[in-house]
Amino acid sequence: MTKPIILNAAELPEWTHAELRALFTVLDLPQEPESASAFLKEHGGKVRGIALRKTKIDTAFLDTLPALEIISSYSAGLDNVDIGATRARGIRIENTSHILAEDVSNAAVGLALAVTRDFVNADAYVRSGQWPVQGQYRLGRSISRMKVGIVGLGTIGSAIAHRLNAFGSKLAYFGPSRKPVDIPYYDDVTRLARDCDMLILTCPLSSATHHLIDATVIDALGPHGFLVNIARGPVVDEQALIAALASDRLAGAALDVFEHEPAVPEALIRDRRLVLTPHIGSGTEETRRAMAENVVDALARHFGIESPRSGLVIDTELASTH
C-alpha cells in the first residue's frame, strides 16, 4: 500500500523521525525560506499531513498544500497557525495540550510558590553565608491565603485550578466565555486583576490576547500583586511590566516565557523580585517524549495506520534514542 505523504516541518527527536519514516513517505521542509518556497511549489500538491512545531502556517503556506488533511503539532499553543484559514479548509489540527497540561500546571504552581516565598533569593542567602551573619530571612507571602485569578481556564488552566484548590487558594477566572465550573467568572480581566492577589496566565496567544496584560491590568493588580506567565510572552506588554516594576507598582513576577525570547530584557534579569525560567513549562523527559509520540500517533490515527504504540515494530535502537 502506498504510504501517505507528510511534510516534516518540526525539529523532533531522531527516534520520532524514525517512526515517521517507518509509517509515511516523509518530505523534509528546508529551513531556508527561499528553498522552502521552491520545495513546496514542487512537492506541496502531494502532501496530506504535516508534523509541526514552530513553522509558521499562513494562508500562503496552505495554498501550496491543496491535499492537506491534518496538522499534528508538537505544542499546546497554535499561535504559528492561521486557525481561521485552516478551519475554512476543513483541515484537522491536533496538538498536545492534553499531554503537557500536568507538567505545565506543576510548573505554574512551582513558579507561584517560588515568587511568593522568594525561594531563589533565599537559596542564594544560604549559599552566600549570610544566614549566620544576618539572621532569619524575611517573610514571604502565602498562596493559601490569596485570591488567584486564572486567565484562560482551558486544559492547563483547569489543571492549575485543581492544584490551587488543594492549596486552599480562593479562585476566579477570566476567559472569552463562561465555563460550566464552580469558580467565579469575570468577563473583564482588569476587574479580575483588581480583585486578585495574583494572576496566572494560561491563555493562548492570539490577536485578542496580544498584550492583554497591559499597564492598566498591571496597575489593577497593584503593588502587592504577583504575575505568573506560563502562556506566551506577548500576552504581557513587557515594557509595561518593566515600568511597573521600576516604580514598585507590582510585588513580583514569575515568567517562563518572554515577548522576544530567547532575548530577555536586562531590566528583568537584574530584578531580584522576579523568577525567570527559559520556557521549560513542559520540560520533563516524560512529557516531551509523550508529546513527540502524539505527533506520530495523531497522524497514524488519521490515516488508519498502526503506530508503534499500537503494535508496529520499528528499529528499536533508533526508537529508544533520545
CATH number of the domain where residue 118 is located: 3.40.50.720
- Cβ atoms of 278 and 262 within 8 Å: the answer is yes
Overall domain count for the chain: 2
Residue 48 and residue 176 share a domain: no
Residue 174 and residue 193 share a domain: yes
Residue 157 and residue 138 share a domain: yes
For position 1, what pLDDT does the model report?
Answer: 66
Residue 252 and residue 199 share a domain: yes
Residue 204 and residue 128 share a domain: yes
Return the ∠ at Cα 156 (arms to 154 and 161), rounded to 5°: 90
For position 307, what pLDDT does the model report?
Answer: 86
Residue 262 and residue 295 share a domain: no
- Cα dihedral angle (268, 274, 280, 283), rounded to 10 degrees? 160
Residue 243 and residue 261 share a domain: yes
Q: Which residue positions in the chain have pLDDT lower than 50?
A: 312-322
Residue 103 and residue 151 share a domain: yes
Catalytic residue positions, numbered: 232, 261, 279
Residue 289 and residue 262 share a domain: no
For position 79, what pLDDT does the model report?
Answer: 86
For position 263, what pLDDT does the model report?
Answer: 97
For position 316, what pLDDT does the model report?
Answer: 32
For position 76, what pLDDT does the model report?
Answer: 80
Residue 27 and residue 174 share a domain: no
Domain with 290, as residue range(s), is 5-76+284-319
Q: Which of 63, 59, 70 is nearest to 44 (CA)?
A: 63
The owner of cell 508503534 is: 308
Q: Which of 110, 56, 111, 106 is nearest to 86 (CA)?
A: 56
- Cβ atoms of 4 and 48 within 8 Å: the answer is yes
For position 311, what pLDDT does the model report?
Answer: 56
Cα dist from 26 to 5, 16, 47, whole Å: 6, 12, 9
Residue 121 and residue 256 share a domain: yes
Question: Do the domain assignments include residue 151?
Answer: yes
Question: Do the domain assignments include residue 81?
Answer: no
